[in-house]
Amino acid sequence: MTTQELQGFIDEVELVLADTDDQYEITERIAPHLSALLAGGYRLPPEFVRPSATRHQNYPLYIAPDDRWSLVSVVWNVGQRTPVHGHEMWGVVGIYSGSEREIRYLKPAADAVGPLTPAGEQVWRRGEVTVCCTTDDDVHSVVAEGDEPTIGIHVYGGNIGTMSRPSYDPATGEVHRFVSGWDDPAAGDQQDSAAAEHLTELR
Ligand SMILES: [Fe+2]
């Protein structure tokens, strides 16, 4: 799924990645390109903005052939939220429509025990862009705010749908591994229950 505007953004990301392996530089340089995509009035196709009654959706807009990076349309229905989770890769998030509340935590050490340490909350609104993740700072939960679905365009430094990642119980620090998978924009709600079962199994 590409349009000229989206392909232009993909090309800009490729240029950055051809130039540096430094995650801090990568995210700093991608953020303004994502801001420009959002400010330019780019419109996602209808099948990439469809919320689900079950859980937030991860629609793949682009996955690099070598899995070095991916571009995702993430859609939360009204009131949906993610568990507290990590990414273990860099990430840049832009708000396409609606708004989200991001609740951040300090990343616990691999051998840490006990509750997570809160690191603040922020509401991100349409058109805003944030570096959500570097490998040392990537733990948060996200809540859809307001009375319309929240849609984000997310850029990640890997194939986010296939990587094993941690989710956390913030009260105890207990960690589970999960793979989010990808949602099929052509499938509508039919695949929701199967995907939810799959996610449960992985946990
Ligand atoms: Fe996240």
Confidence grade of residue 189 (pLDDT, cut at 50, 70, 90): low
Cα of 140 from ligand 1 centre, angstroms? 6
User: Contact 72/34 with Cβ under 8 angstroms?
Assistant: no
Cα of 110 from ligand 1 centre, angstroms? 19
Cα of 91 from ligand 1 centre, angstroms? 9
- What DSSP designation does 181 have? -
For 11-22, write each residue's pLDDT tens digit: 999 999 999 999
Spell out the domains of the chain, with CATH numbers in brackets: 4-202 (2.60.120.10)
CA distance 145 to 63: 28
User: Contact 117/105 with Cβ under 8 angstroms?
Assistant: yes
Cα of 141 from ligand 1 centre, angstroms? 6
Cα of 142 from ligand 1 centre, angstroms? 7
CA distance 138 to 116: 13
For the entire predicted model, the pTM comes to 0.91
**First vs last Cα of the chain: how many Å apart?**
31
Cα of 82 from ligand 1 centre, angstroms? 8
Is the model's pLDDT at 166 over the cut of 50?
Answer: yes
User: Contact 160/154 with Cβ under 8 angstroms?
Assistant: yes
For 95-153, write each residue's pLDDT tens digit: 999 999 999 999 999 889 999 999 999 999 999 999 999 999 999 999 999 999 999 99
